[in-house]
């Protein structure tokens, strides 16, 4: 580990010895889908899926375009219902709790289940610092030692060393890969138990992609990760388990290695060997 102290400001003395990424271990939560169905108006996009995302594991969802994988993850933190006319049926259990339960606060669900989108989207009016703090401020938790929390989140996203000297600069001025890690830091700051990633690297170059993948590997020690990807090599690199979806249904889920080397369903084999998709 290289010495980070030169880049420190006096303010962060206490944390000066911390490595760039904090390897704090914390249990994530298991997410279980039971008979999940999702609709856009009358069109059924996810047609009854039962699936378990184990705590502190990385689960990849692969499948051809339009198979419902993005819709499926958007149901987990109830972002699906933000689209006019969209609704979901079935149960999504966060540990024991059904996030679609009648007394459940949507806002609390989204604080526990963070999300990183396809395109890096830092808030354009805000500095790097404010972008990370935004998650806390927007959820009325901006009090206390905000600065320490921002630093911890930036370290968690492996971005601290690159931005420590220019926290006041606009977040939109960073490179694409840095912006995406800023977005990851932003969701880490609210301290979620689960992070959903919807094709987080599809807008990034290979080197930036590699950084995010390394980061995912570290993050799973504190959160459960669900990653939707078009890139099968990426699934093979980062995921402990991989799920294959087709036409709104789950075809199979298994250890990543098994899915890519000895899938039990012929359709999975056709897909991972590039026969369609």
- Which stretches of the chain bind other proteins, using CB under 8 A? 77, 79, 82, 84, 107-112, 114-115, 117, 119, 121, 123-125, 134-135, 137-139, 172, 183, 186-187, 190
Q: How far is the CB of 114 from other proteins (least distance, A)?
A: 7
What pairs with residue 243 in β-bridges? 61, 253
CA distance 150 to 252: 39
Q: How far is the CB of 204 from other proteins (least distance, A)?
A: 16
Q: Which is nearer to other proteins, 111 or 241 (CB)?
A: 111
Q: Which is nearer to other proteins, 30 or 180 (CB)?
A: 180
Q: How far is the CB of 214 from other proteins (least distance, A)?
A: 23
Q: How far is the CB of 108 from other proteins (least distance, A)?
A: 7
Q: Which is nearer to other proteins, 83 or 148 (CB)?
A: 83
| Phi-psi map region of 92: left, alpha, beta (phi>0 left; psi -120 to 50 alpha) | beta
Q: How far is the CB of 135 from other proteins (least distance, A)?
A: 4
CA distance 213 to 206: 10
Return the structure tokens found at 224: 């459960």
CA distance 187 to 120: 12
Q: Which is nearer to other proteins, 40 or 123 (CB)?
A: 123
Q: Which residues contact 95 (CB under 8 A, 6 or more apart)?
A: 29, 30
Q: Which is nearer to other proteins, 119 or 147 (CB)?
A: 119
Q: Which residues contact 181 (CB under 8 A, 6 or more apart)?
A: 157, 158, 159, 211, 212, 215
Return the structure tokens found at 5: 């102290």
Q: How far is the CB of 121 from other proteins (least distance, A)?
A: 4
Number of residues written out for the chain: 277
Q: Which is nearer to other proteins, 128 or 253 (CB)?
A: 128
Q: How far is the CB of 153 from other proteins (least distance, A)?
A: 12
The DSSP 8-state label assigned to residue 82 in this structure reads G
Q: Which contiguous run of DSSP H or E holds residue 151? A: helix 146-156
Shortest CA distance to 153 belongs to which of 125, 117, 191? 191
Question: In this structure, are strands 58-62 and 224-228 parallel, antiparallel, or unpaired?
Answer: parallel
Q: Which is nearer to other proteins, 61 or 253 (CB)?
A: 61
């Amino acid at each position: 580990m290289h010495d980070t102290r030169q880049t420190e400001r006096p303010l962060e003395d206490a944390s000066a010895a911390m490595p760039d990424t904090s390897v704090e271990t914390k249990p994530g939560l298991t997410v279980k889908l039971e008979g999940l169905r999702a609709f856009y108006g009358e069109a059924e996009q996810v047609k009854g899926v039962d699936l378990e995302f184990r705590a502190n594991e990385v689960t990849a969802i692969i499948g051809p375009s339009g198979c419902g994988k993005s819709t499926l993850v958007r149901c987990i933190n109830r972002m699906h219902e933000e689209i006019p006319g969209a609704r979901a049926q079935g149960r999504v259990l966060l540990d024991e709790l059904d996030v679609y339960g009648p007394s459940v606060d949507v806002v609390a669900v989204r604080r526990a289940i963070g999300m990183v989108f396809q395109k890096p989207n830092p808030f354009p009016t805000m500095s790097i610092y404010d972008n990370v703090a935004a998650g806390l401020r927007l959820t009325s938790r901006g009090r206390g030692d905000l600065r320490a929390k921002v630093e911890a989140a930036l370290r968690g996203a492996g971005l601290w060393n690159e931005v420590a000297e220019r926290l006041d600069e606009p977040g939109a001025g960073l490179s694409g890969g840095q912006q995406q890690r800023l977005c990851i830091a932003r969701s880490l700051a609210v301290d979620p138990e689960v992070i959903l990633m919807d094709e987080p690297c599809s807008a990034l170059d290979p080197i930036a992609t590699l950084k995010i993948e390394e980061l995912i590997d570290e993050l799973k020690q504190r959160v459960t990760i669900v990653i939707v990807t078009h890139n099968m090599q990426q699934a093979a690199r980062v995921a402990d388990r991989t799920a294959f979806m087709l036409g709104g249904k789950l075809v199979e889920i298994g250890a990543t290695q098994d899915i890519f080397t000895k899938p039990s369903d012929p359709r999975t084999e056709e897909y991972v060997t590039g026969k369609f998709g």
